[in-house]
């Protein structure tokens, strides 16, 4: 099966004189199921629709949007696999130098806020054509949201872009329902009934069973209103329990329908086994290819959804908390295709998804009643109803690594260590298999922090849970005679994290002997509970105020503390330690984070004075202790004499 057309010539080669949908995408065209546009376009093709791909069009030239002429049914828009603003800017709001989703890694081939820009270009060309937006950018901005890059609350992207309909979440079902409705001649403005969609209306006359949240104007001006509105959205993400959400925007209403039901296992298998080319379009070869394919070309996506519930993760808003997984047979068939690829070297790079070791819903209740809106499955401790079971994942990994031609099967996507520990029957067996077969020298896991307060706001387990896993991991590697290390993912400057917390985290890194080659500063992206905390300074679940650092200099100090041994961070680490009066961490002892530089005479002097005071204080304490011991000894003698 060939790539879908990207030009008039491609279209004619297929014998087409029109397309049903022109699909405008912000990424280079990669026909692999790890790329959302590839899935949506292939699903439409499977249902008989003709799709033409307009990849990374020049938004300064309207002709770039008309290469297929006027599509029969409408335009689709996806700004790409990663939010364009995250793709373009670091958390410090500096422009990135490369774009892994563009040919040759070139930056600047898509605009900021690409969905809005693309929609405006299309509307200037075709005034009345249906425009449907989807993908991560649209999904997470479906209602009024805090925008970190503008540092203000923006309206729903539906309102700002002028698109007719927005599809959020995983859109396979939704897009087919839209296509069939348009095919049947239903005007786009009347397609208001599809789950997983958002639309605008001037009247609520035909809207029912909904929750009205604070208006865009109210949440823009009042942070408490924003927190209230966000929490309602957050707790209405399950298709079995969610209500419609209505948010006034000026004289109109943005109506968010209930989420779509997750695909069944058979449906998921079918989607991932569509006839993808499994690589980028050959037009990019002369430009150096598309870097993003390297990480996924020989990886297997085994599941969707995540009940982990980390507050800084947007998966709850996009894929949802209900886990669905592909069958062993489907994954084995895909693995065999990989083996036959001439570039395959015998290594399957990953078998996972949002969380690798989730292979089923958290409990049976979720399938009939939905997820609990006010309770997490793993936080603050595993729910008694959760069924932690690694048997299916162990069996899958065994079958994959026993395929002829496979040398090694790695696990690189996230493993929930608390879920492994919660599996009292098969958790140890999984750790054994993991250490013996599925690691290449080091395992990356995500404790994220060590401060109890910060972990609570992150929705992560307490540090002693991670330490239990570390102990089991080290003991198993010792039994196997392997030297395999643990690399923790940690986040600095998360809401609730003070400079004291950051220093405590640095001490933990030092004590554990960890080398933090990569560190992550908290990035406030739309659709997360943590971003709501960052913007409002409130925990929306309790409305209690929390500490949030927005000062770029303090954020730099918190980040630098995670790499205290990097000479470039010396001044920032020094400033943080002095600010918190932690001279005990400056010096030459094993617990010290930095040593005074030879040319830093003022700091050396401070440290020397501190050491003298410490020694003098120790001597006074010892002297006092001796006097106390002497008094106690004399008192004891007197008591003995009296007794005699």
The secondary structure of 385-438, three-state, reads CCCCCCHHHHHHHHHHHCCCCCCEECCCCCCCHHHHHHCCCCHHHHHHHHHHHC
Quick check: is 266 in a domain?
no
Token output for 222: 């009042």
What confidence category does residue 640 fall into, taking pLDDT thresholds of 50, 70 and 90?
very low
What confidence category does residue 643 fall into, taking pLDDT thresholds of 50, 70 and 90?
very low
The pLDDT tens digits for 30-49 are 999 999 999 999 999 999 99
Q: Residue 188 sits in a domain of what CATH number?
A: 3.40.50.280
Q: Are residues 248 and 311 in the same domain?
A: no
Exposed e or buried b per residue across 214-225, where buried means at least 16 C-beta atoms within 10 angstroms of its C-beta: bbbebbbeebeb
Quick check: is 546 in a domain?
yes
Among positive and negative, which fits the CA dihedral 144, 147, 151, 154? Answer: negative
Mean pLDDT within 203-228: 97
Q: At 476, phi and psi to the nearest 5? A: -70, -40
624 pLDDT more than 60: no
Quick check: is 292 in a domain?
no
Q: Residue 433 sits in a domain of what CATH number?
A: 3.30.750.210
- The Cα–Cα gap between 324 and 366 comes to 12
- The Cα–Cα gap between 335 and 238 comes to 32
DSSP annotation of 68 reads T
Kindly report which listed range (74-83, 371-380, 630-639) carries the lowest average pLDDT score.
Answer: 630-639
Q: Residue 473 sits in a domain of what CATH number?
A: 3.30.750.200
Q: What is the pTM of this model?
A: 0.92
Quick check: is 263 in a domain?
no
Q: Are residues 190 and 54 in the same domain?
A: yes
Q: Are residues 591 and 604 in the same domain?
A: no
Q: Which domain holds residue 230?
A: 8-256
Q: Are residues 14 and 161 in the same domain?
A: yes
Residue 309 has a pLDDT of 87
Contact (CB, 8 A) for 427 and 390: yes
Residue 315 has a pLDDT of 87
623 pLDDT more than 90: no
The pLDDT tens digits for 385-417 are 999 999 999 999 999 999 999 999 999 888 999
Q: Are residues 392 and 471 in the same domain?
A: no
Q: Are residues 26 and 71 in the same domain?
A: yes
Q: Are residues 502 and 614 in the same domain?
A: no
The pLDDT tens digits for 463-480 are 999 999 999 999 999 999
Quick check: is 46 in a domain?
yes
Q: Are residues 547 and 522 in the same domain?
A: yes
Q: At 249, phi and psi to the nearest 5? A: -130, 95
Q: Are residues 472 and 377 in the same domain?
A: no
Residue 610 has a pLDDT of 87
Q: Are residues 340 and 374 in the same domain?
A: yes
The pLDDT tens digits for 117-153 are 999 999 999 999 999 999 999 999 999 999 999 999 9
Quick check: is 523 in a domain?
yes
Mean pLDDT within 94-113: 97
100 pLDDT more than 60: yes
- The Cα–Cα gap between 256 and 199 comes to 7
Q: Taking the C-alpha atoms of 272, 273, 278 and 282 in order, what is their torsion angle to the nearest 10 degrees?
A: -120
Last residue in a domain, options 440, 458, 487:
440
Residue 644 has a pLDDT of 37
101 pLDDT more than 60: yes
Q: Are residues 450 and 397 in the same domain?
A: no
Quick check: is 36 in a domain?
yes
The pLDDT tens digits for 2-19 are 999 999 999 999 999 999
Contact (CB, 8 A) for 522 and 494: yes
- The Cα–Cα gap between 71 and 426 comes to 54
Q: Are residues 357 and 497 in the same domain?
A: no
- The Cα–Cα gap between 518 and 537 comes to 27
| Total count of domains within the chain | 4
Residue 635 has a pLDDT of 57
Last residue in a domain, options 202, 223, 256:
256
Last residue in a domain, options 440, 470, 497:
440
Residue 634 has a pLDDT of 56
Quick check: is 282 in a domain?
no
Residue 633 has a pLDDT of 54
What confidence category does residue 628 fall into, taking pLDDT thresholds of 50, 70 and 90?
low
Mean pLDDT within 206-232: 97
């Amino acid at each position: 099966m060939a790539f879908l057309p990207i030009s008039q010539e491609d279209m004619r080669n297929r014998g087409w004189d029109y397309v049903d949908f022109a699909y405008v995408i912000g990424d280079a065209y990669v026909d692999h199921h790890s790329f959302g546009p590839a899935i949506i376009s292939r699903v439409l093709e499977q249902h008989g629709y003709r799709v033409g791909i307009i990849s990374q069009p020049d938004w300064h030239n309207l002709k770039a949007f008309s290469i297929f002429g006027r599509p029969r049914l409408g335009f689709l828009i996806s700004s790409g696999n990663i939010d364009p603003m995250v793709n373009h800017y670091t958390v410090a709001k500096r422009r990135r130098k490369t774009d892994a989703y563009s040919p040759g890694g070139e930056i600047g081939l898509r605009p900021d806020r690409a969905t809005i820009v693309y929609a405006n270009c299309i509307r200037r060309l075709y005034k009345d054509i249906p425009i449907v937006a989807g993908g991560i950018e649209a999904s997470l901005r479906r209602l009024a949201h805090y925008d970190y890059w503008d540092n203000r609350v923006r309206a729903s992207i539906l309102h700002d872009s002028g698109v007719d309909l927005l599809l959020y979440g995983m859109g396979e079902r939704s897009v087919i329902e839209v296509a069939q409705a348009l095919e049947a001649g239903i005007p786009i403005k009347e397609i208001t009934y599809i789950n997983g969609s958002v639309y605008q209306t001037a009247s609520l006359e035909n809207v029912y069973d909904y929750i009205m949240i604070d208006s865009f104007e109210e949440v823009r001006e009042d942070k408490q209103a924003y927190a209230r509105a966000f929490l309602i959205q957050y707790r209405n993400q399950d298709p079995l329990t969610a209500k419609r959400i209505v948010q006034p925007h000026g004289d109109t209403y943005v109506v968010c329908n209930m989420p779509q039901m997750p695909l069944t296992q058979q449906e998921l298998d079918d989607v991932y086994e569509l006839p993808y080319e499994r690589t980028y379009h050959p037009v990019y070869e002369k430009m150096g290819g598309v870097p993003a394919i390297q990480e996924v070309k020989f990886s297997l996506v085994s599941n969707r959804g995540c009940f982990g519930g980390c507050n800084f993760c947007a998966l709850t808003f996009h894929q949802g908390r209900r886990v669905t997984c592909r069958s062993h047979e489907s994954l084995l068939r895909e693995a065999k295709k990989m083996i036959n690829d001439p570039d395959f070297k015998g290594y399957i790079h990953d078998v996972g998804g949002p969380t690798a070791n989730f292979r089923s819903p958290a409990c049976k209740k979720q399938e009939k009643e939905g997820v609990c809106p006010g309770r997490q499955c793993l936080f603050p401790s595993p729910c008694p109803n959760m069924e932690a079971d690694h048997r299916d994942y162990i069996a899958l990994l065994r079958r994959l690594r026993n395929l002829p031609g496979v040398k090694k099967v790695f696990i690189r996507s996230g493993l929930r260590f608390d879920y492994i520990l919660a599996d009292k029957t098969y958790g140890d067996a999984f750790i054994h298999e993991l250490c013996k077969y599925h690691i290449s020298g080091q395992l990356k896991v995500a404790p994220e922090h060590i401060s109890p307060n910060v972990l609570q706001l992150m929705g992560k387990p307490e540090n002693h849970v991670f330490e239990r896993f570390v102990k089991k991991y080290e003991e198993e590697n010792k039994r196997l005679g392997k030297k395999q290390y643990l690399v923790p993912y940690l986040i600095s400057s998360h809401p609730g994290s003070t400079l004291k917390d950051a220093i405590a985290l640095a001490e933990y890194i030092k004590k554990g002997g960890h080398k933090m080659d990569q560190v992550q500063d908290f990035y406030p992206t739309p659709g997360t509970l943590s971003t709501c905390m960052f913007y409002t300074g409130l925990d929306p679940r309790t409305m209690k105020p929390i500490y949030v650092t927005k000062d770029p200099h303090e954020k730099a100090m918190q980040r630098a503390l995670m790499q205290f041994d990097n000479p470039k961070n010396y001044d920032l680490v020094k400033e943080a330690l002095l600010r918190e009066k932690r001279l005990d961490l400056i010096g030459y002892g094993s617990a010290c984070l930095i040593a005074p530089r030879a040319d830093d005479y003022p700091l050396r002097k401070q440290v020397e004075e501190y050491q003298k005071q410490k020694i003098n204080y120790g001597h006074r304490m010892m002297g006092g202790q001796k006097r106390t011991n002497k008094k106690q000894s004399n008192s004891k003698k007197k008591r003995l004499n009296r007794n005699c």
